[in-house]
Amino acid sequence: MPRILVFLLLTLGVACRADEPPNIVLIITDDLGYGDLSCYGQKNFRTPVLDGLARDGLRFTDHYSGSTVCAPSRCALMTGRDTGHCSIRGNGAHQLRADPADLTFARILRDAGYRTGMVGKSCVTGNVQDYRVPLNKGFDVFYGTTMHKDGHHRFPRFVFDQEKTVLLQGNNLHWGEHYDAELYTRRAERFIAENPDDQPFLLLVSYPIPHASVVAPEGMAERFDFPGETGYHPERVHYTPVDKPKANYAGMVRAIDGYVGRIIDALEAKGVAEDTLTFFTTDNGSHYEGGYHPDMLGSNAPLRGGKRDLHEGGIRVPLIAHWPAGIRPGRTSDLPSAFWDFLPTFCELVGRPAPGDIQGISFLPTLTGEGEQARHESLYWEFHENGGRRALRQGEWKLVQYGLEPGKLGKPQLFHLGRDLAEEHDLAADDLERVSAMMATMEAARVPSKTFPLPAID
């Protein structure tokens, strides 16, 4: 579509659609909080690139990750299933099952003619050291790490480049010459530059920051001064010791903003920015690791809790969508949506049927402003650490139950998110009928898993 026509249509406030399905860039970070971007309320530092994408695109306010930790969240993202149905419901040595059991959107898009690439932390494995899994799950190109613990350190000793192991000389996990997110940005830029002009592409950029270790790229932490900071110097070292975790965390988020800008610049240089649908999101709420706590910079504000919680701070995440040829700028959506909605959205985008056994619903009508948007009757999550937890959102109502051990079932808590986004006021005792109905919906929202059992409710 000619750029002048696109400009005129957008100036008139008319959403337009490209004649051909767009390129897709999906950027996902690790443990970035809902309040970590200035367009979502961050006051301690700015994220100008992402603010610009939100201003020129669509910002979702009620979007949710797949889970409250990494591996199940990414499983939901890739397969269109929530954590009541997906195969990976917790962290550990797990990987997506062979096709067709865990069909990914990468496979669907590749079958539709897309060139597909994943750069960074694997979204199809947990702690599994095997480069073959991404290449067998629909990706033509893979550059990064497949064992998630490798993503705990900013200076990994190696990365996979297809079937090759690339040693990173000088890196010792905690310090070195090759910063992980910088490496992944360069490979993303190269993927875009090398893409054939006549072939659409899917690029999944999976940054392992701002997950601990909380070490910003060189020169980034020095931009911030938070008086009274105390250092992180544990006796037993796993995450890298740092003198200023707040400054380093802010530096990591600001670095992400810059990396996103470079990816947009690469799209511009390739001449495909107008016809590329770019998403930015994160896999769960901000963390309590490596000397950092979300309250230090309001990372999850105004939400309750963080990573490993099923309160909003653990699962409500930023989502920005930018597509000059298809999204009318300056919009905000409060559509309740979740990671399992990406797969059916991509299917509708390329005219392919979505698998029948998923919980996702396409949000393409919300992106384009065209057609009627189907809505979820409810959204469900379960989590297997810390005694077991589950949650259900139904309209503006949220039911949360912690403690899913035999003989120790916790009492469900009920919140009205429209009036109490911070989940401070438990209304369960005042609305027992609603609690009972939502509990019945929660019971029906899952199938038991032998790998991730919840004995008290299975």
Q: Residue 204 corresponds to which tokens in the numbers above?
A: 């999944």
Q: Are residues 202 and 257 in the same domain?
A: yes
Q: Looking at the domain assignment, is residue 456 inside a domain?
A: no
- CATH number of the domain that residue 168 is part of: 3.40.720.10
Q: Are residues 312 and 403 in the same domain?
A: no
What pLDDT score was predicted for residue 413? Answer: 98
Q: Looking at the domain assignment, is residue 6 inside a domain?
A: no
Q: Yes or no: say if 186 and 120 are a contact pair by the CB < 8 Å rule.
A: no
d(CA 296, CA 306): 12
List pLDDT tens digits, range 255-311.
999 999 999 999 999 999 999 999 999 999 999 999 999 999 999 999 999 999 999
Q: Are residues 405 and 384 in the same domain?
A: yes
Q: Looking at the domain assignment, is residue 11 inside a domain?
A: no
d(CA 401, CA 392): 9
| Interacting residues of 430 by C-beta distance below 8 A, sequence separation 6+ | none
Q: Are residues 363 and 389 in the same domain?
A: no
3-state secondary structure of 394: strand
Q: Residue 71 corresponds to which tokens in the numbers above?
A: 């591996």
Q: Are residues 384 and 308 in the same domain?
A: no
| Interacting residues of 261 by C-beta distance below 8 A, sequence separation 6+ | 49
Q: Are residues 207 and 330 in the same domain?
A: yes
Q: Which domain holds residue 423?
A: 379-443
Q: Are residues 299 and 401 in the same domain?
A: no
What pLDDT score was predicted for residue 408? Answer: 87
List pLDDT tens digits, range 347-383.
999 999 999 999 999 999 999 999 999 999 999 999 9
Q: Yes or no: say if 177 and 154 are a contact pair by the CB < 8 Å rule.
A: no
Q: Looking at the domain assignment, is residue 76 inside a domain?
A: yes
Q: Looking at the domain assignment, is residue 451 inside a domain?
A: no
List pLDDT tens digits, range 11-30.
343 333 446 899 999 999 99
3-state secondary structure of 3: helix
What pLDDT score was predicted for residue 14? Answer: 36
How many domains, the chain? 2
User: Left (φ > 0), alpha (ψ -120 to 50) or beta: where does 35 sit?
Assistant: alpha
Domain end point (choices 338, 368, 398): 368
d(CA 151, CA 364): 32
3-state secondary structure of 5: helix
- CATH number of the domain that residue 391 is part of: 3.30.1120.10
Please give the sequence-ordered ranges of beta strands (E in DSSP) within 164-216, or none if there are none. 164-167, 201-210
| Burial annotation 136-162 (CB, 10 A radius, 16+ → b, else e) | ebbbbbbbbbbbbebbbbbbbbebbee
What pLDDT score was predicted for residue 458? Answer: 86
Domain end point (choices 368, 390, 421): 368
Domain end point (choices 314, 343, 368): 368
Q: Looking at the domain assignment, is residue 452 inside a domain?
A: no
Q: Are residues 308 and 165 in the same domain?
A: yes
Q: Looking at the domain assignment, is residue 304 inside a domain?
A: yes
What pLDDT score was predicted for residue 375? Answer: 98
Q: Are residues 67 and 187 in the same domain?
A: yes
Q: Is the dihedral of CA 96, 134, 66, 272 positive or negative?
A: negative
Q: Are residues 424 and 303 in the same domain?
A: no
Reported pTM? 0.95
In this prediction, the residues of the chain whose per-residue pLDDT falls under 50 are: 1-18
| Burial annotation 289-325 (CB, 10 A radius, 16+ → b, else e) | bbbbebebbbbbbebbbbbbbbbbbbbbbbbbbbbbb
d(CA 159, CA 261): 24
Q: Residue 275 corresponds to which tokens in the numbers above?
A: 């016809």
What pLDDT score was predicted for residue 13? Answer: 38
Q: Looking at the domain assignment, is residue 28 inside a domain?
A: yes
Q: Are residues 234 and 275 in the same domain?
A: yes
What pLDDT score was predicted for residue 20? Answer: 86
What pLDDT score was predicted for residue 42? Answer: 98
Q: Yes or no: say if 302 and 285 are a contact pair by the CB < 8 Å rule.
A: no
Q: Are residues 252 and 389 in the same domain?
A: no
